[in-house]
Amino acid sequence: MDTHATVDGGEAPTSTIRLRDVEKVYHSGRVDYLALRGIDLDVTAGELVALVGPSGSGKSTILSIITGIDRPSAGQVAVTGRDLSRLDEEELAIWRGGHVGIVFQFFQLLPTLTAAENVMLPLDFAQIGSIRERSERAASRLDQVGLADHRDHFPAELSGGQQQRVAIARALACDPELIVADEPTGNLDTDSASEMFAVLHEVNRAGTTIVYVTHDVELAERADRIVSILDGRVVGDEAS
């Protein structure tokens, strides 16, 4: 398959993310649940975009479709110039590893690995560089998030805010064009959340496109744009 194909088969779109009339139906026995109902969304390179809305509105489903973790039931999805519908699961995994970083609410760090080893994981999976080069890049990413002195610490030896910084460093390991974050501050206290977002903001200002889900109004207002989702539809899209 052509992993560089675009939605219309022409030149790569100017948007980092381009969704057109995207629907997602989940099936549970005889019951169908329409999670997304015709989503149109464009995110251009370098933007910092917050997705907001009540629980169950479809925000996390949008992130799953953007990252290729889930596939839409209908509609078109292009991310970093790829038409995701044309990629099989292996190609999606390769594409995701090279172009998308993911930050989860609950960190998802492996407890038996040090901070540096956790950051190295995406590089190991993608077989990028030698072991020495991977170690050097992990050290650089930890320095970028302010944890240069914690590279040999295990997750249990780090605070929640520090663990989330390690998760951000891991998301940055492969120099992705796009970072998506699903409630990245939801498991942090107010101070840690503010510090963590400052790191994301710095990463964004360096040129990385970031889309994040949050229930925190204050954090949403720090984005360039706030996209409001309700009942699987975009009901608002405005500069913050």
9-23, 144-158, 188-202, range with the lowest pLDDT: 9-23
Q: Is 98 exposed, middle or buried (0-12, 13-18, 19+ CB in 10 A)?
A: middle
DSSP conformation class of 12: P
Length in residues, the chain: 240
**Does the pLDDT at position 14 exceed 80?**
no
Residues 133-163 have pLDDT tens digits of 999 999 999 998 889 999 999 999 999 999 9
**CA-to-CA separations, 13 to 7, 9, 206, 218, in angstroms, rounded:** 8, 10, 21, 32
Beta carbons of 72 and 233 less than 8 angstroms apart: no
Q: Could you tell me the pTM of the whole model?
A: 0.88
Give me the residue spans of the domains in the chain: 47-66+88-239
Residues 6+ apart with CB under 8 A from 163: 107, 109, 155
Superfamily of the domain at 47-66+88-239? P-loop containing nucleotide triphosphate hydrolases (3.40.50.300)
Is a pLDDT exceeding 70 seen at residue 202? yes
Confidence tier at 178 by pLDDT (50, 70, 90): very high
Work out the burial of residue 188: count CB atoms within 10 Å of its CB; fewer than 13 is exposed, 13-18 middle, 19 or more buried: buried
Nearest to 167 by CA among 226, 222, 212: 212
Average pLDDT over residues 116-122: 94
Average pLDDT over residues 97-101: 90
